[in-house]
Structure 1
């Protein structure tokens, strides 16, 4: 009988207990900053320097080498891993003449600290009672060098036997996460100590059920957000509306180096590995909130997203530095004092003229990345939800400015006040802008009083002349314009109806008797001169095929019965080739659509 095959992929009980103990340390407020900054290695091979009878060895490079097959309880792994982290946090990794004596002195003080902390379950060799004949590691080290290591203080390390449980000299910044932070292990332990004290106070106050239960209460980003809500009325309402997401996995997936904002989801993403302090977090939160409140995403208007983001960053950061909010971050901060007083649009034009200088700058999200996260959801900015959010953000910023002034919270840059007040003003409707453009070509007609018989008379007294005001017939000559209507399959019927309705109402109100109407898809359809009243009624639209508009423009320019100075209105959705128009013209596009070329005439958008 053949032997049974061993089942594959069985869980390793030794590794399971190790990882569970490590997760407990990562959730403990005292050890979380250190645990997030080192690398845990329990692989087999020559690279693992942990002795056969040891548990874990710490190195100055930020790696904890654990025994790959040793079995122990989760509580024991929690204890020995905390022991190794404390060696790093207490600054024990330094050059000495007697390494064995120094290691024994350090292990004695770490063991006493963990006993007082009552964290985990120590191994059997560390369960005994002992007294320390010195007040610090240096003094105990000198005693050991002179008198030898005491028997009850020997073998308290995690490497087993006479092996040292830490190696190397930690004289440089962190090795494992040095690309994010230059903090030393001692500074990280100090942060953990402050977090642990804060968590203990929260437990005593009933805010947390146990130590480290809520990480969100004491992170730098959350504390900065709370400061805006309680102490800074300009951005307090917006800060209350946004959630802070501090997840390294999400930031890695979204390629976020420091921070980014999602205006639709109302979330600000912070990379915890950026290690920002509270002052820097205040600056970053204010930066992202101003991006949203000033509607930089919807003001993109066909510009290059990255260059527009860089231009907005220069303007916002200049304001924040002038206002003294927080501390300027070391990574992703763009500031140039020579750009003070300029708008984002003017800075964008300057950047476009010097692309080599501004191409590879780093925003808060990273190099060549936008910290305003744009979702691929169509014309979201012009949807009902997008409009509601824009109005909500405008209202928050406007009310915040009012409260800021009432509470006399300090002066604000004039450019910031101007932009906030400008957003509070309702935009001019597109049909009003279109009518203003038409008024440049069609001045109001001067009417004269006449007794000429009207075409419609009263039956009771048809012979009585009745005066009325009529326009001069000579002034009506040449009072017309051309409409080139894109009737391809991509054009929305509602957009066509809105555009034709606006043209009809304007023509009737401005005494334009007829309009030259041309439909264009892949073929040109000349409808001739159409009365304004007919456009307002049911009109049969021809086309709904491809999109070739240039032949229609050429047809209008060749017409002998069309005025040489007559304007041309081109209604399209932007899915067309480059157009060459020699006469006065304008474009009418749906909101959120753009022309694939630089327009020489004005562009109006149907909302």
Structure 2
């Protein structure tokens, strides 16, 4: 065999000896003492002995397993730490430490040789005390998940990950929610998105933190709870055309007030909190702060000068129903397991969580309810003037048939002011008109008064409800002026004085004032340039 084919032979006894010493050196209890000495295979004792000067002598020829040598080395170092010659006390302590395995041939013959102290003799008891302190810290980290085992040099999990796991283990209200969230700590991402501390994307279930920010564990708990409540209560989707930044500021005041009242973590310096706003909803706080825009626009969220509610509410996630269901179940489950021993909860937070049990109706269901309220249906009644089909079991008994009263002169109707500018989405427009047609037919409304609006108003007169979609022509001449179309309906002699008006627009229009019962139908995420007085239904 050539020299290149030769392999270096490894002495298994020496390898076990070295591995055992490395294991002891990495243990936090023995590391301070092990760093001040090293074993030598020059001893005559059956296993090993140690001098008070720190010289550790192992038997020169004994071969043993690594876990046996580890037990022997730990035994000798404990002799130094305890400063005792007898082995009984040391062996009893080792049973609790559980480092290595006691050899079957071990005899308690005394392993410590007392030598005169020299000028550089270590203070073994002080080093042992430092090891006890380090072992206690490491044990707490292992119990909390910061380290996989005691020998880990430093925690393998970040402080924000530990804070998130704290909710899973110790705070039932947000535990189920925390188990489904992911913390993303990326300095480049935080710099690119201008995230000073944290932000959240509810559609992705991700919390973005700035790893360069120095916060304590308690402060990270506050920050993560803040972002989780933003996501679970869907604050980004509840803006409904309001100013996004001021809505975020209002939500911050409410959420931070809850967290301070619950005592979850410690609020970092500069968070938005005003005791005078306690007990108010986000909508109420928003109405208050919009009276002083110059002041409140200067306030900073956890993201900084931007909104910490990331994502595009107008687009929405692809699996909105599943996402809403996850957040709803997580909060309701946490509330059911949250006991008074974990702390009291603010009444406003409990009210919002309870409201999640009854999710809001879809836009088309609420539109149907509006039709039922303001567009009365013609009541049918039975009459013998028009007999019904007789039953075969009782052919001699006449049955009354359903008829509509012929004496009714005025049929129920409603007006539609339709934005036909180029900015309208044809698909959403078709969905809205289809819903209107189905509801109108269910209410026995034969026709509706339709006005198309772009730069000017086009009166289409009464159109059968199922034919409205076929009459629409998106003209796209630029701006949209809806007020002339509303005025045309209100002044029309052939339109009832109590007839409701439905305005369909994308929000890119002028100021509209309607003096009778009305409602607006707009795409989700659209914002009207004025404060509407009637209900607003948002299509999705």
The TM-score bracket by the shorter chain reads: 0.5 to 0.7
Match of 1:504 in 2: 437
CA deviations on 1:471-515 (whole Å, 9 max, x unpaired) are 444544152211122233332333233222222222222232321
Match of 1:399 in 2: 333
Cα 1:583–1:594 change in 2 (3 A) is same
Shift of 1:289: 0.8
Correspondences of 1:327-346 after superposition (within 5 Å):
327-330=266-269, 332-346=270-284
Shift of 1:356: 4.5
CA deviations on 1:563-588 (whole Å, 9 max, x unpaired) are 22222111122222222433332111
Shift of 1:395: 2.0
CA deviations on 1:415-455 (whole Å, 9 max, x unpaired) are 1111112123131232332233233433454545556579x
How far apart, CA to CA, are the structure 1 residues paired with 2:162 and 2:400? 79
Q: Do 2:300 and 2:306's aligned partners in 1 also have CA atoms closer than 8 Å? A: yes
How far apart, CA to CA, are the structure 1 residues paired with 2:330 and 2:246? 27
Task: State the secondary structure of the residue aligned to 1:245.
Answer: strand
1:427 aligns with 2:366: no
TM-score (norm. length: structure 2): 0.65
Cα 1:206–1:584 change in 2 (3 A) is closer
Match of 2:315 in 1: 380
Q: Do 1:199 and 1:211's aligned partners in 2 also have CA atoms closer than 8 Å? A: no
How far apart, CA to CA, are the structure 1 residues paired with 2:159 and 2:141? 17
Match of 2:500 in 1: 567
Shift of 1:281: 1.4
1:211 aligns with 2:156: no
1:439 aligns with 2:376: no
Match of 2:44 in 1: none
How far apart, CA to CA, are the structure 2 residues paired with 1:393 and 1:211? 38
Correspondences of 1:383-532 after superposition (within 5 Å):
383-405=317-339, 409-447=342-380, 449-450=382-383, 468-477=401-410, 479-522=412-455, 524-532=457-465
Match of 2:532 in 1: 599
1:318 aligns with 2:252: no
Match of 1:264 in 2: 203
Select 2:230's aligned residue among 278, 291, 297.
291
Unpaired segments ≥5 residues, structure 2: 1-117, 124-129, 388-397
Number of aligned residues:
402
Task: State the secondary structure of the residue aligned to 1:280.
Answer: helix
How far apart, CA to CA, are the structure 2 residues paired with 1:195 and 1:273? 28
How far apart, CA to CA, are the structure 2 residues paired with 1:204 and 1:339? 38
Shift of 1:133: 11
Cα 1:441–1:238 change in 2 (3 A) is closer
Cα 1:196–1:596 change in 2 (3 A) is farther
Task: State the secondary structure of the residue aligned to 2:356.
Answer: helix
Shift of 1:590: 1.9
Match of 1:165 in 2: none
CA deviations on 1:61-97 (whole Å, 9 max, x unpaired) are xxxxxxxxxxxxxxxxxxxxxxxxxxxxxxxxxxxxx
Cα 1:467–1:239 change in 2 (3 A) is closer
Q: CA RMSD in A?
A: 3.7
How far apart, CA to CA, are the structure 2 residues paired with 1:425 and 1:334? 30
Shift of 1:414: 1.7
Shift of 1:409: 3.5
Correspondences of 1:47-126 after superposition (within 5 Å):
none
TM-score (norm. length: structure 1): 0.59
Cα 1:285–1:604 change in 2 (3 A) is same
1:303 aligns with 2:242: yes
Cα 1:444–1:412 change in 2 (3 A) is same
Shift of 1:346: 0.8
How far apart, CA to CA, are the structure 2 residues paired with 1:570 and 1:500? 12
Match of 2:89 in 1: none
Task: State the secondary structure of the residue aligned to 1:274.
Answer: coil
Unpaired segments ≥5 residues, structure 1: 1-129, 136-189, 455-464
